[in-house]
Homo-oligomer: A and B are copies of this chain.
Amino acid sequence: MGIEIERKFLIVGSDWRQTAVGTTYRQGYIVADRERTVRVRRAGERGFLTIKGPGDGARRLEFEYEIPIAEADEMLATLCPGPLIEKIRYWVDYQGFTWEIDEFFGENRGLLLAEIELADEHQIFARPSWVGAEVTGDHRYYNACLARSPYANWKE
């Protein structure tokens, strides 16, 4: 399924909300370590199983499969230890790119992240005013890490 190339940023302000359309996500991890991640996700009324390789800056090997929602729920309940990630994902179009914005709840309440998927790491894109500091490659902001070490615990 190929390589995922993403850059990730903090969010500044709330101007992005004006045109945002969102879906509730609930996800957990069958395994999540430096070498591999197996994620179960409920996205609205759809289920997904996603395998990712080692995180290496913006590039990451990724395979994603849609699965029956009942099976996703069963795996989340029985095979995903630790607190689940709960968030609303919004999609915002800006000058030819679609930004994905995650607003976290539960133990990660207060955290907002924006991601953009690129064809290559150095592709040029316009930066909306609400895009703040880049955190691409910072493992603390990986969702798998947020499940183990939630934002509420590492804020100063």
The interface of chain A, by Cβ under 8 A from chain B, is 1, 30-31, 35-36, 38, 49, 51, 53, 61, 63, 65, 67-68, 71, 74-75, 78-79, 81
Contacts and interface: CB of A to CB of B under 8 A. Distances in A.
- How many monomers of this chain does the complex have? 2
Contacts of A35: 79, 81
A79 B65 contact: no
A77 to B, nearest CB: 11
A63 B36 contact: no
B63 A67 contact: yes
Contacts of A78: 53, 61
Contact of A31 (B31, B63, B67, B75): B31
A79 B36 contact: yes
Given A30-B38, A31-B38, A36-B79, 11 more contacts: A1-B71, A30-B31, A30-B36, A30-B51, A49-B51, A51-B79, A53-B78, A61-B74, A63-B74, A65-B65, A65-B67
